[in-house]
């Protein structure tokens, strides 16, 4: 086994030794009790001796040996046994000190608890309904009126916001052995830890049913055969050195009965190395500060994994460089960035590429997308950064997502390569990364001399989306007339050209766009109608789009058409939906879009589907959805029904909802204010579109 750095495996839990005279007095008292005729006095010797050893620190072994020399044979035997135990424990302490790298909150004097998150699902057995609550277990770090914070066995902190909100009526259902929602029950760490000591029972349980183990791993938990090491660390923190030693031994046994001690230690260290690496990768995605991420990667480099820490060294160098750049960076006023020349905008977003994530929050700019939007003028900087190994916050997951080593951080070079593909529309894929980058660099040598027009103009027929976007990014005023000429010539490319030209058009272009409403391609008509309505304040294309949507079997086209009609002509949109619902059952997309068309006739047509229990391929909650689910979801939103339809309801609750809704609609349908409902639906639609 590779030797572990002495600083890492220092005696983490031993405080500075107490005063020598105090230790001597305490040891003398323990020796008297060990030699006592009183069974009660002798019974407490082991615990007292363990506590004394913790306080005595590294000098405990020498003191005990010296004390044994002058003790009675029985007491001397006990002290020598303690010395042997301490010598074995020393290796445990050195090994377990690796958990210091995880920066977990200290748990000494904290309570082990079980808390109900308020989440769960309803289980029906023989007519009785109970809730299968999601319960977290671990060390209570914080208990306040606002929240509970609990350090779990996956070494992550669960936060429960208080008061919790549960589904109506759930709080009154039996909880079983779980505490009520938003509350906690006292647990027992010793009992939980001692269950882990039985590694054979755990091994058998995992072999019989591996799914809980996969789920635990996906949430960052340690494999079952490495988890005893974590509990041993916690036992050491609490001062229970005998339980710690037992758990450490259990961890070694759990790895494999066939592994020797050295091989078992290597396995556990590699497991912890993988776990801390996963925490550093996902921590970047979650927005942890870069200085903290740097410390985590420094910890990854210190934990022996059996391989050279090449990745960790690269990440450490990358984060150090980024921290230096962050300190020197001067952020321009937000309003000035869009007005910067293209090359400077590219430099701005290239700096912020370090904070790019896979799924940006709504409303926040995506540095990778902004770089691609700069277009041709960003290519010199992007090509020049292809070999840049600085880390970003963009994380990809491998096929086996439950395995922690299948999480990968995208570098600057990775995202710059993707941006180049986005700008050019070219696929430079190659199994060898070095040759892939070489392809791009060779292409750029030629393309940079020819210029953007020579590259993008031919793409208007081959890849119109990329061609139009590229030309508009270079010079919209110059190339917009040529793009409109290309769109007017018709063909499959016209719709894509119009979509890219959309933001640059206005009322002055209405006449030219209106001519495209007679194009034989439905997508071209839709794109033209959208431009007329959104850019020219002209709804002339709405009726033409409605006519096409009514007779179309193309569902994606119909959905896009309805999104336009929700604002441009809601009445025509409702007619499209009524025609569709007479031919085919509602599905998820239908229920989503129908919510924006509250119309009495459509409601009447949709109610019929509430009795259709045909299963669909869609999943709601933990079960397959029925046709009636989609009808109910749409009706709930359209009519403003007080009791909202949700996917979390079980079959019994769904049947009750449908019966109650039918009664309500019969009593109130004629008096509903459809104008008011339509106005509310339009407001909701606009709000949803803005958030997109």
**Rounded to whole angstroms, how far apart are CA atoms 670 and 675?**
13
Per-residue pLDDT at 174 exceeds 60:
yes
Task: Name, in order, each residue with C-beta under 8 angstroms of 217's C-beta and a sequence gap of 6 or more.
Answer: 223, 402, 403, 404
How confident is residue 2, by pLDDT bands cut at 50, 70 and 90?
A: very low
**Rounded to whole angstroms, how far apart are CA atoms 495 and 501?**
10
Per-residue pLDDT at 403 exceeds 80:
no
Per-residue pLDDT at 204 exceeds 60:
yes
For residue 3, what pLDDT is reported? Answer: 38
**Rounded to whole angstroms, how far apart are CA atoms 160 and 235?**
26
Per-residue pLDDT at 11 exceeds 60:
no
For residue 129, what pLDDT is reported? Answer: 73
Q: Which of 261-265, 312-316, 676-680 has maximum average pLDDT?
A: 312-316
For residue 430, what pLDDT is reported? Answer: 66
Per-residue pLDDT at 605 exceeds 90:
yes
Kindly tell me the sign of the dihedral angle through the C-alpha atoms of 170, 172, 178, 181. Answer: positive
C-beta of residue 297 within 8 angstroms of C-beta of residue 316: yes
**Rounded to whole angstroms, how far apart are CA atoms 247 and 224?**
13
Per-residue pLDDT at 377 exceeds 80:
yes
Residue tagged 């949700």 (tokens):
646
For residue 650, what pLDDT is reported? Answer: 75
Task: Name, in order, each residue with C-beta under 8 angstroms of 211's C-beta and a sequence gap of 6 or more.
Answer: none
Task: Enter the DSSP assignment of 647.
Answer: T
Residue tagged 């400077």 (tokens):
344
Per-residue pLDDT at 338 exceeds 60:
yes
Closest CA relative to residue 264, chosen from 272, 254, 274: 254
What does the chain come to in residues?
Answer: 692
Q: How much is the mean pLDDT over the chain?
A: 88
Task: Enter the DSSP assignment of 506.
Answer: -
> Tokens standing for 513?
């766009």
**Rounded to whole angstroms, how far apart are CA atoms 67 and 78?**
11
**Rounded to whole angstroms, how far apart are CA atoms 461 and 536?**
27
CA quadruple 459, 463, 464, 466: dihedral, nearest 10: -80
Per-residue pLDDT at 205 exceeds 90:
no
For residue 612, what pLDDT is reported? Answer: 92
Mean pLDDT of 596-606: 93
Closest CA relative to residue 305, chosen from 441, 404, 421: 404
For residue 6, what pLDDT is reported? Answer: 33
Task: Name, in order, each residue with C-beta under 8 angstroms of 373's C-beta and a sequence gap of 6 or more.
Answer: 473
Q: In what order do the strands lie in the sheet with 112-125?
A: 157-161, 147-152, 128-143, 112-125, 184-186
For residue 560, what pLDDT is reported? Answer: 94
For residue 58, what pLDDT is reported? Answer: 79
* 402 compared with 652, residue with greater pLDDT: 652
* 29 compared with 57, residue with greater pLDDT: 29
Mean pLDDT of 560-564: 95
Query: What DSSP line would sit under 289-355, residue for residue?
Result: -HHHHHHHHHHHHHS--SS--HHHHHHHHHHHHHHHHHHH--PPPHHHHTTS-HHHHHHHHHHGGGG
Residue tagged 């997308």 (tokens):
369
pLDDT in tens, 480-494: 999 999 999 988 899
Q: How many CB atoms lie within 10 A of CB 622?
A: 11
How confident is residue 621, by pLDDT bands cut at 50, 70 and 90?
A: low
Task: Enter the DSSP assignment of 642.
Answer: S
**Rounded to whole angstroms, how far apart are CA atoms 90 and 6?**
13
Task: Name, in order, each residue with C-beta under 8 angstroms of 290's C-beta and a sequence gap of 6 or more.
Answer: 319, 322, 323, 326, 354
For residue 207, what pLDDT is reported? Answer: 84
Cβ-count burial of 471 within 10 angstroms (0-12 exposed, 13-18 middle, 19+ buried)? buried
For residue 4, what pLDDT is reported? Answer: 37
Per-residue pLDDT at 9 exceeds 60:
no
Query: What DSSP line would sit under 561-624, residue for residue?
Result: HHHHHHHH-HHHHHHHHHHHHTTS---HHHHHHHTT---HHHHHHHHGGGG---EEEEEETTEE
Please tell me the pTM assigned to this model. Answer: 0.77
Secondary structure element (H or E) that encloses residue 487, with its range: helix 464-488
pLDDT in tens, 421-468: 999 998 876 667 788 889 999 999 999 999 999 999 999 999 999 999
Mean pLDDT of 620-638: 85
pLDDT in tens, 219-265: 778 888 889 999 999 998 998 888 988 898 888 888 876 667 788 88
Mean pLDDT of 649-653: 80
How confident is residue 622, by pLDDT bands cut at 50, 70 and 90?
A: low
How confident is residue 479, by pLDDT bands cut at 50, 70 and 90?
A: very high
> Tokens standing for 458?
């031919």
> Tokens standing for 256?
């494999």
Closest CA relative to residue 100, chosen from 255, 302, 241: 302
For residue 599, what pLDDT is reported? Answer: 92
**Rounded to whole angstroms, how far apart are CA atoms 76 and 628?**
80
The strand pair at 128-143 and 112-125 is best described as: antiparallel
For residue 16, what pLDDT is reported? Answer: 36
Q: Under DSSP, is residue 210 helix (H, G, I), strand (E, B) or coil?
A: coil
C-beta of residue 225 within 8 angstroms of C-beta of residue 255: yes
Per-residue pLDDT at 1 exceeds 50:
no
Mean pLDDT of 543-551: 94
> Tokens standing for 244?
């710690």
**Rounded to whole angstroms, how far apart are CA atoms 599 and 572?**
11
């Amino acid at each position: 086994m590779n030797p572990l750095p002495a600083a890492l495996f220092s005696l983490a839990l031993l405080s500075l030794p107490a005063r020598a005279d105090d230790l001597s007095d305490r040891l003398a008292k323990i020796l008297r009790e060990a030699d006592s005729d009183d069974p009660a006095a002798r019974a407490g010797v082991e615990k007292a001796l363990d506590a004394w050893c913790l306080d005595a620190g590294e000098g405990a072994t020498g003191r005990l040996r010296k004390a044994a020399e002058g003790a009675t044979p029985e007491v001397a035997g006990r002290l020598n046994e303690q010395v042997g135990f301490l010598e074995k424990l020393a290796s445990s302490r050195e090994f377990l000190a690796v958990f210091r790298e995880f920066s977990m909150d200290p748990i000494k004097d904290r309570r082990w608890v079980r808390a109900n998150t308020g989440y769960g699902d309803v289980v029906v057995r023989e007519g009785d309904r109970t809730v299968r609550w999601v319960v977290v277990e671990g060390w209570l770090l914080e208990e306040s009126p606002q929240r509970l914070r609990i350090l779990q066995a996956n070494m992550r902190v669960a936060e429960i916001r208080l008061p919790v909100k549960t589904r109506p009526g759930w709080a009154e259902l039996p909880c079983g052995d779980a505490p009520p929602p938003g509350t906690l029950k006292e647990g027992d760490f010793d009992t939980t830890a001692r269950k882990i000591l039985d590694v054979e029972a755990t091994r058998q349980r995992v072999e019989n049913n591996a799914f809980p183990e996969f789920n635990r791993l996906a949430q960052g938990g340690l494999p079952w055969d490495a988890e005893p090491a974590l509990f041993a660390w916690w036992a050491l923190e609490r001062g229970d050195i005998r339980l710690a030693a037992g758990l450490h031994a259990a961890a070694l046994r759990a790895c494999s009965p066939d592994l020797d001690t050295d091989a078992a230690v290597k396995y556990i260290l590699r497991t912890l190395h993988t776990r801390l690496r996963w925490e550093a990768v996902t921590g970047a995605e979650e927005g942890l500060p870069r200085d903290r991420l740097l410390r985590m990667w420094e910890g990854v480099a210190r934990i022996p994994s059996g391989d050279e820490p090449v990745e960790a060294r690269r990440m450490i160098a990358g984060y150090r460089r980024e921290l230096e750049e962050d300190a020197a960076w001067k952020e321009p006023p937000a309003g000035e960035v869009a007005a910067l020349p293209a090359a400077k905008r590219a430099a701005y977003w290239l700096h912020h590429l370090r904070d790019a994530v896979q799924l940006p929050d709504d409303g926040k700019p995506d540095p990778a997308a902004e770089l691609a939007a700069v277009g041709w003028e960003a290519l010199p900087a992007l090509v020049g950064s292809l070999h840049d190994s600085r880390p970003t916050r963009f994380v990809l997951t491998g096929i086996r997502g439950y395995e922690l080593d299948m999480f990968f951080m995208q570098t600057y070079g990775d995202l710059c390569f993707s941006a180049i593909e986005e700008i050019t529309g070219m696929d430079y894929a190659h199994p060898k990364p070095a040759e892939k980058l070489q392809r791009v660099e060779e292409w750029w040598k030629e393309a940079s001399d020819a210029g953007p027009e020579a590259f993008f103009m031919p793409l208007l027929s081959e890849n119109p989306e990329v061609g139009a976007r590229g030309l508009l990014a270079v010079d919209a005023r110059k190339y917009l007339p040529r793009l409109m000429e290309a769109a007017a010539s018709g063909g499959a490319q016209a719709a894509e050209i119009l979509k890219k030209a959309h933001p640059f058009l206005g009322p002055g272009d209405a006449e030219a766009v209106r001519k495209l409403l007679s194009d034989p391609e439905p997508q071209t008509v839709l794109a033209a109608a959208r431009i007329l309505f959104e850019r020219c304040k002209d709804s002339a294309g709405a009726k033409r789009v409605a006519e096409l949507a009514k007779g179309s079997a193309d569902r994606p086209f119909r959905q896009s058409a309805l999104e336009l009609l929700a604002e441009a002509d809601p009445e025509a949109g409702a007619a499209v939906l009524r025609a569709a619902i007479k031919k085919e059952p509602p599905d998820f997309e239908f229920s989503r879009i129908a919510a924006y068309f509250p119309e009495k006739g459509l409601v009447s047509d949709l109610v019929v589907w509430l009795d259709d229990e045909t299963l669909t391929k869609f999943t709601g909650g933990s079960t397959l959805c029925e046709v009636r689910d989609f009808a109910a979801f749409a009706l709930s939103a359209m009519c403003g029904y007080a009791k909202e339809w949700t996917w979390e309801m079980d079959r019994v609750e769904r049947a009750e909802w449908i019966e109650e809704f039918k009664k309500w609609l019969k009593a109130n349908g004629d008096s509903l204010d459809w104008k008011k409902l339509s106005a509310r639906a339009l407001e909701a639609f606009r709000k949803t579109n803005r958030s997109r």
